[in-house]
Amino acid sequence: MKHRVGNQTRPERAIRVAAQESPDGSGSTTEDSDLHALIERALPGCGPHTYQLLAESARIGTVRRGEVVFRQGEPIPLTLMVRGYGAFRRTTVDGQILTVDIAKPNDLFGFSSIASTRTPVDLVALTDGHILLWKGSEVRRIAAADPELALYVIDRMAEFLASITERVDGFLHQDARRRVIRVLNRHRDLFFTEPAVLSRSHLPSLVGTSREMTGRVLRELEREGSIARVGRTGLRLLRPDMLGEDVVPTWRQAT
């Protein structure tokens, strides 16, 4: 069976798991139990029949850096990022590319697939990785028979709405400096690790400003001794307390 990931069509490949040796020396794979464990960790509190159905209906894929997992305007799938990182990118009506979030290992997203919505973003692989995908119609059918899954979807959608409100508030009411610091703080484990997953080239689309404006803020932070630019695209954090300048969103102050 083939699974299309981005612009490439390749055989569907299962996640590699260790083989357990039986007493007679023959190998028996644990792929099924491993798949169940992955889904249960990402989606706690559901019934065993739900995990069984999700394991049976999952499409398992391998992605390479730079590949598009799904595109803006396509039906959104429920997606589990098993390994690797991805960027959610949106192209605005005037052609600007914004990175609205980063998908990390063990992230489960796309819950609006239950309503057969179309995704407002592309998911582009930042690194090589493995993913699990489910069609929205499959998720809706399973959720209809499991109230715990349905409630989990509702909770996650509420969290997503609050997160979107926070980010819109940041875009509207924070200047470029605050927005750069907020992004560096939110993704410090990806900017300031070795090897880095995110680089200076990712900042403009994450911050929502021009490359020139982002560069101006980085130079200002560098003069203050907070960060250092390394090579053509890298960053080094010199003062971790600098990221503490990020403000608490107004909607959280009111709750």
CATH level 3 topology of 174-253? Arc Repressor Mutant, subunit A (1.10.10)
Phi-psi category of residue 66: left, alpha or beta, with phi > 0 → left and psi -120 to 50 → alpha: left
pTM, entire model: 0.74
pLDDT above 50: residue 238: yes
Q: Where in the chain is the domain with CATH 2.60.120.10?
A: 2-146
pLDDT of the residue at 97? 86
22/223 Cα distance (integer angstroms): 62
Q: Where in the chain is the domain with CATH 1.10.10.10?
A: 174-253
Q: How many of the other CB atoms lie within 10 Å of CB of 100? A: 15
pLDDT of the residue at 132? 95
Superfamily per CATH, domain 2-146: Jelly Rolls (2.60.120.10)
The DSSP code for 53 is H
Q: Which of 70, 72, 68, 77 is nearest to 115 (CA)?
A: 77
Burial class (CB in 10 A: 0-12, 13-18, 19+), 246: middle
| Angle (nearest 5°) at CA 184 between 179 and 190 | 145
Q: Higher model confidence: residue 119 or residue 252? A: 119
Phi-psi category of residue 208: left, alpha or beta, with phi > 0 → left and psi -120 to 50 → alpha: left
96/229 Cα distance (integer angstroms): 25
pLDDT of the residue at 27? 35
Express each pLDDT in 102-156 by its tens digit.
999 999 999 999 998 899 899 999 999 999 999 999 999 999 999 999 999 999 8
Q: How many of the other CB atoms lie within 10 Å of CB of 159? A: 11
43-78 burial string, b = 16+ CB within 10 Å, else e?
A: beebeeebbebbbebbbbbbbeeebbbbebeeebbb
